[in-house]
Amino acid sequence: MAQPLCLPPGSDIRLADFDADFHEGLDKEAGKTETRRLWEELDDLAYRLYAEARRAVVVVLQGIDAAGKDGTIRMLARGISPQCLDVVSFKAPSQLELAHDFLWRVHKSMPGHGRIGIFNRSHYEDVIVVRVRKLVSEPVWRSRYDQINAFEKLLTDGGLTIVKCFLHISKDEQRERLEERLRDPHKQWKLGPADLDDRRHWDSFEQAYDDALTKCNTEHAPWHIVPANRKWYRDLVVARLVRQTLERLDPRFPPYDPTLITSLE
């Protein structure tokens, strides 16, 4: 029993075909143990990327409310030293941001050389929530898929690796998580009427995601669909993905200069 994490560019991606409960038949304890082991590797790789200071990685987290974006960030930050990380959350745009093109705020938030950025939401909101809530006209959001692909190409050509993760939870799982938040005085603050209203548009969000995942699943920046009904499995999948990405980059410490020590007084 297997489920692909990503599909080849050009494939028609339909979230309904992906099982949000998928977990390879692993049990929770085994999953958590593997994640803890990955943290050690991640910290070492991230530190080498930082020391090398020539390339960067951005992990883009998308998903509907309560899909686990905050929890995934907490997990990565437990594994990786904060000095290597830049965490950015994208909220509804400010007046200043709205006075620019939709990619402006995103471009200037990209991690610099040596760093790993983690995006809690991203430019994908501009073809998701913006489409569902009809914040711009259809020709405007439709033209954004090509613009996003060109933007991501510019970034990857410049030495940035983009790891796009869609955290996939089911409608039932979202209900349970929202209900838990509404009952918990320490969690209710996360929710507003807009979030409950978004749930009423579940099908429109799913359609918008199907299109965004299909149209922006490129060779240079593919989408990964992370089964996220089980938090521990979601953590494991994302930790593995980031580890794989860093391993592929194989960051190196700058060359050692044995003569430098002679100038130590």
Q: Which stretches of the chain bind ligand AMP, using CB under 6 A?
A: 90-93, 121, 125-126, 129-130, 135, 194
Q: Out of Mg ion, ligand AMP, none, which partner does residue 90 contact, by CB within 5 to 8 A per kind?
A: ligand AMP
Closest contact distance (angstroms) between CB of 103 and ligand AMP is 10
Of 172-211, which residues contact Mg ion (CB under 5 A)? 195
Q: Is 235 in the site for Mg ion (CB under 5 A)?
A: no
Closest contact distance (angstroms) between CB of 189 and ligand AMP is 10
Closest contact distance (angstroms) between CB of 190 and ligand AMP is 6
Q: Out of Mg ion, ligand AMP, none, which partner does residue 93 contact, by CB within 5 to 8 A per kind?
A: ligand AMP
Q: Cα 149 vs. chain centroid, distance in angstroms? A: 16
Nearer to ligand AMP, 176 or 197 (CB): 197
Q: Out of ligand AMP, Mg ion, none, which partner does residue 136 contact, by CB within 5 to 8 A per kind?
A: none
Q: Which residue is nearest to ligand AMP (CB)?
A: 125
Closest contact distance (angstroms) between CB of 191 and Mg ion is 7
Nearer to ligand AMP, 35 or 174 (CB): 174
# residues near Mg ion by CB under 5 A: 2
Residues that bind Mg ion (CB under 5 A): 65, 195
